[in-house]
Structure 1
Amino acid sequence: MTHIITRACCNDASCVAVCPVNCIHPTPDEPDFLTAEMLYIDPETCIDCGACVDECPVSAIYPDDQLPASQLPFLQINTDYYKDHDVEGGIVKHPRPPQLPADELRVAIVGAGPAAFYAAQELVKKSQIKVDMFDRLPTPYGLVRAGVAPDHAQTKGVEDTFAAVEKKRNFTYHLGVEVGTHISHDELRERYGAVLYAVGAPHDRHLNIPGEDLAGSIAATEFVAWYNGHPDFAGHTFDLSGERAVVIGNGNVALDVARILATDPELLASTDIADHALAALRESNIREVFVVGRRGIEHAAFTNGELLGLGEVDGIDVVIDEAELTLSDEAAAQEADDTLDSVIATKVRLAREFAAKPLVEGNRRIVFKFLTSPVEITGTDSVSSVKLVRNRYIGDGKIEATDTTSNLDSGFIVRSIGYRTQPVKDLPFDEASSLVPNEDSRVLDGPGGAPLPGVFVAGWIKRGPTGGIGRNRLCGEQAAATILLDFANGALPTPTTDAIDVADLVISRGAHRVDLQGWKRIDAAEREAGAGAGRRRVKITSIEEMKNVAGESEPVGDVVGGA
């Protein structure tokens, strides 16, 4: 018997560390880890010990004889990976951590998403390190709460890992506190030996085509935040009265948007989707969602697991025209001699299988278009259609537009072509790369400049908006390792002010500070409301209501864990 990793894999690599035979790859020490869609178990090496099952935070690993029917394709996907990958890298070994001084170190972490939490997880293992985490929202967990699709409940299981960190005695929440408003960067540096920014990339990229700003043309970031109950977007409304929506881009977020639009709302009613979104989707007339990608299937940005997942949703047909599955000359040649990368080969195989499936009358449809780009969005006061151009490969995976154009009528167009970072107040920012300049997580005073002692970055603000939970875990751990190294080497500045005054300071400036107990009250209220409706939780989407439920923060003291 072997074990199988399935679609819910979050790439956080907890399983790698406990595997006694090195059968799970790619490991964090291997180059492919940074771009891997998921992790894979080698069936020839696995000894069926089950250690990975207990360690997986999202319950994505099963013995092969216990696979749910919907996950059976992952038997082949795990096996296919090892057609052109091996397990010869050896057991993952981590370097011995540096010897730390006995002095106390206080670390401020700005942001409460995955990169922030994985950094905190490493830091709070050291009893002399105290971590204070800041976030402008009264709720933590970042994109795990506000970005992971509501019908991906397994992925949200990583919240349990974060909950274990927040309970540590040397961890303190300052939620509902905006750095730059309620406390400045300089004030953090005065109070903490290290300040780590893990604030993500909250904005969307633009198409830069005519008509993009018409009503009915929106960013996926906005729509995802809306259906996930982010309080900044809870009051938004969308016109879903037409029968067709168009999603520009074909990454996993694009597939999330398409799936939520096409899924029977009654199937979503058991998830933690925001109530306002569920009500709007129940009134929606959308029956067909086009997903448009500028390059071919071999370069599609979605993962194989997410594509497979579309086929598991009752009432949805995945529509792919076989003629759309044109390969570049290079990929076609590699496919012919069986040297095409196994992950790409799987993507092509799955797409062809969908293309061969018959359509079911009455089903909603998600229609894929490859090698197609938008050139103009048309309409008078609001969107009425999008003009598309057909592309072709010209060598080395590059494309160019042809003279073939078409129009898709639609009153709702969602662009999902990636995220972008924005400058962080009082930190250097490289406009060319759209990142905070850094080296090994240390913030530099400019591109190629000198490190700013005690200031660090992790996550998308450090490296750009790429990778999910797994890569953010690695990034957070790397930042923590750099902080520990600088602490061991005496390279961190000594605070000039005691951080004990932070809670009073931010409250005096208008923050309604939410501590661990306040967050627990919000969490309990949401879960209680969800239990009554047969749901995981019913999210509170109003900042004011969150504040009321959280109540007042408790006094902060050196011995009050998680205050």
Structure 2
Amino acid sequence: MYENLPVPYGLVRYGVAPDHPEVKNCIDTFDKVGQHPRFRFVGNTAVGRRGDNGVPLEAVVRNYDQVVFAYGADSDKKLGVDGEQLHGVYSARQFVGWYNGLPECRGLNPDLSGDEAVVIGQGNVALDVARMLLAPIDHLARTDISRDALQVLAASNVRRVRVVGRRGLAQSAFTNKELRELLALPGVGFAPVAASQLDPLALFAKDLPRALKRMVGLVQKGSAAGPDAPRQWSLEHLLSPARVLARPDAAAVGGVEFVVNELRQDSLAADARAAPTDARRVLPADVVFKSVGYDCTPLDDFEYVTGARFRAGDRLVPNAGGRVLRTDGTPAPGCYVAGWVKRGPTGVIASTMMDAFDTAEAVLADGAAAAPADRGGWPAVHAELARGGSLPWRPVSWADWCAIDAAERAAAVDGADRRKLLSVEAMLDVLA
């Protein structure tokens, strides 16, 4: 997803809310790997993507014994409803990238001039979006949030956020940790969950799975701030978007019309499906965030080079235990997958990490069993592509990244760890 940037860490740097404490732990772990003498970092280089700094996938696969594809999901799923293109409708992925300083999202500048926000989706990213809209500015200022984004959020008029899901509370995809953090925001009230959603869960509380039981307890307890708090948020259930409504006087969002759903199965079941009814409900909205999932896309020439084809429907690489499977069902020699491109864009950092360990075990087992091969690695790839002894772009090494890191840390303000550079040009200027 961020493979063409001069900086490491990927989703941890650009895809996770900056106030999450586990961000630092992940970066510390990556730093230990980066300092290993047998590790090579090549940044500002896009493998399998055509462009000024692109490296053909075939050149990499041919010059390495084993290649792990772990580039994540790089596009958004669409709502597929009328009005989705109105001014004031944003994808959660772009919004998260914007406040985290992702260069491609720098110009997003969401319109937060209205009072009402609707977040469609009830995963962890949806709650991240809600928390960033509602969190006190002095709290955000102590993180490495983009300073441009901090100014926009400081001037935001958003006072109410509705987080909307197509199924019930029991089927929500967010974790209790995310819920707890949002409920703990000072000066932010939580509107009670509808009795139709909460009562059945409370009635059978003793029979619920532990995580769901804790979720019910958190929702029942609510937030310390009451209904008179200056900012409010709520969980809305059993609603599927039908269309985004425009304001009468402008081509900008003014609300969202939803189809009211009902659960046709046990409402306590995690896999219960929602079925539409004839009822409709309109929620006011001055800004809308779509948090309904991501799509993984194949690298250029992926099928030609590996013999594997992305699965239709879920857009994942077919694999067995992390080993890429070709169209005939046999493993593609030396090719592996990890992360979202392997398992889909679901799960928190910890679950994705454990899944990556399984792939790593396959890599180690296959490497130990394989006959030694004389492959050239990055120097051979470099030699193939270099013109006049150098590449037409500037690859970034780990030492280069350390220089960029030092520059960001030196520019830190308000007690934050760093002040991120917001463009590739600014990052490369440090190295000049």
> Match of 1:40?
none
> Match of 1:377?
244
In 1, the alpha carbon distance for the partners of 2:241 and 2:199 equals 20
In 2, the alpha carbon distance for the partners of 1:491 and 1:463 equals 30
Residues 332 and 464 (structure 1), Cα distance of their counterparts in 2 relative to 1, 3 Å cut = same
In 1, the alpha carbon distance for the partners of 2:36 and 2:394 equals 23
Query: Which of 510, 516, 519 lines up with 2:398 in the alignment?
Result: 516
> Match of 2:114?
242
Q: Secondary structure at the match of 2:13?
A: helix
In 2, the alpha carbon distance for the partners of 1:498 and 1:265 equals 47
> Match of 1:463?
343
In 2, the alpha carbon distance for the partners of 1:519 and 1:550 equals 9
In 2, the alpha carbon distance for the partners of 1:537 and 1:509 equals 31
> Match of 1:405?
280
In 1, the alpha carbon distance for the partners of 2:393 and 2:357 equals 30
> Match of 1:146?
14
Q: How does 1:204-283 map to 2 (within 5 A)?
A: 204-283=76-155
Residues 498 and 154 (structure 1), Cα distance of their counterparts in 2 relative to 1, 3 Å cut = closer
In 2, the alpha carbon distance for the partners of 1:404 and 1:491 equals 65
Q: Does 1:201 align with 2:81?
A: no
In 1, the alpha carbon distance for the partners of 2:374 and 2:116 equals 58
TM-score (norm 1): 0.69
In 2, the alpha carbon distance for the partners of 1:506 and 1:232 equals 26
In 1, the alpha carbon distance for the partners of 2:80 and 2:378 equals 46
Per-residue deviation, 1:496: 5.2
In 1, the alpha carbon distance for the partners of 2:377 and 2:217 equals 60
In 1, the alpha carbon distance for the partners of 2:375 and 2:329 equals 25
Per-residue deviation, 1:472: 2.2
Residues 477 and 266 (structure 1), Cα distance of their counterparts in 2 relative to 1, 3 Å cut = same
Structure 1 range deviating more: 282-291 or 381-390: 381-390
Q: Secondary structure at the match of 1:389?
A: strand
Residues 505 and 536 (structure 1), Cα distance of their counterparts in 2 relative to 1, 3 Å cut = farther
Per-residue deviation, 1:403: 3.2
> Match of 2:379?
500
Q: Secondary structure at the match of 2:20?
A: coil
Q: How does 1:291-370 map to 2 (within 5 A)?
A: 291-323=163-195, 325-326=197-198, 334-335=204-205, 338-354=206-222, 359=226, 361-370=228-237
For the 8 Å contact 1:297–1:327, the answer to whether it is kept is no
- Deviation digits for residues 476-502 of structure 1, max 9, x if unmatched? 22222212211222268x355564244
For the 8 Å contact 1:334–1:340, the answer to whether it is kept is yes
Query: Which of 311, 316, 340 lines up with 1:430 in the alignment?
Result: 311
- Deviation digits for residues 248-299 of structure 1, max 9, x if unmatched? 0111110110111112223211111101101111221111111111111111
Residues 206 and 549 (structure 1), Cα distance of their counterparts in 2 relative to 1, 3 Å cut = same
**Structure with larger RCO (C-alpha < 8 A, sep 6+):** 2
Q: Does 1:452 align with 2:332?
A: yes
In 1, the alpha carbon distance for the partners of 2:209 and 2:358 equals 29
> Match of 2:269?
none
In 2, the alpha carbon distance for the partners of 1:296 and 1:491 equals 54
Per-residue deviation, 1:413: 0.4
For the 8 Å contact 2:190–2:227, the answer to whether it is kept is no
Residues 491 and 218 (structure 1), Cα distance of their counterparts in 2 relative to 1, 3 Å cut = farther
Q: Secondary structure at the match of 1:208?
A: coil
> Match of 2:305?
none
Q: What letter is aligned with 1:412?
A: V
In 1, the alpha carbon distance for the partners of 2:407 and 2:363 equals 36
Q: What letter is aligned with 1:486?
A: D
In 2, the alpha carbon distance for the partners of 1:484 and 1:186 equals 22
- Deviation digits for residues 140-184 of structure 1, max 9, x if unmatched? 111110111112144332210110000000001110111124321
- Deviation digits for residues 7-44 of structure 1, max 9, x if unmatched? xxxxxxxxxxxxxxxxxxxxxxxxxxxxxxxxxxxxxx
In 2, the alpha carbon distance for the partners of 1:320 and 1:521 equals 49
For the 8 Å contact 1:269–1:278, the answer to whether it is kept is yes
For the 8 Å contact 2:382–2:391, the answer to whether it is kept is no
Q: Does 1:419 align with 2:294?
A: yes
Residues 143 and 358 (structure 1), Cα distance of their counterparts in 2 relative to 1, 3 Å cut = closer
For the 8 Å contact 2:318–2:325, the answer to whether it is kept is yes
Query: Which of 534, 542, 545 lines up with 2:423 in the alignment?
Result: 542
For the 8 Å contact 2:189–2:229, the answer to whether it is kept is no
The alignment covers a number of residue pairs equal to 411
Per-residue deviation, 1:368: 1.6
Structure 1 range deviating more: 536-545 or 211-220: 211-220
In 1, the alpha carbon distance for the partners of 2:312 and 2:371 equals 28
Query: Which of 481, 496, 510 lines up with 2:361 in the alignment?
Result: 481
In 2, the alpha carbon distance for the partners of 1:339 and 1:269 equals 43
CA RMSD of superposed structures (Å): 2.2
For the 8 Å contact 1:262–1:316, the answer to whether it is kept is yes
In 1, the alpha carbon distance for the partners of 2:93 and 2:21 equals 19
Residues 324 and 333 (structure 1), Cα distance of their counterparts in 2 relative to 1, 3 Å cut = closer
Per-residue deviation, 1:511: 2.6
- Deviation digits for residues 88-146 of structure 1, max 9, x if unmatched? xxxxxxxxxxxxxxxxxxxxxxx88xxxxxxxxxxxxxxxxxxxxxx311011111101
> Match of 1:132?
none
In 1, the alpha carbon distance for the partners of 2:69 and 2:398 equals 20
- Deviation digits for residues 55-82 of structure 1, max 9, x if unmatched? xxxxxxxxxxxxxxxxxxxxxxxxxxxx
Q: What letter is aligned with 1:420?
A: D
TM-score (norm 2): 0.89
For the 8 Å contact 2:187–2:225, the answer to whether it is kept is no
Q: Secondary structure at the match of 1:151?
A: coil
In 2, the alpha carbon distance for the partners of 1:299 and 1:412 equals 25
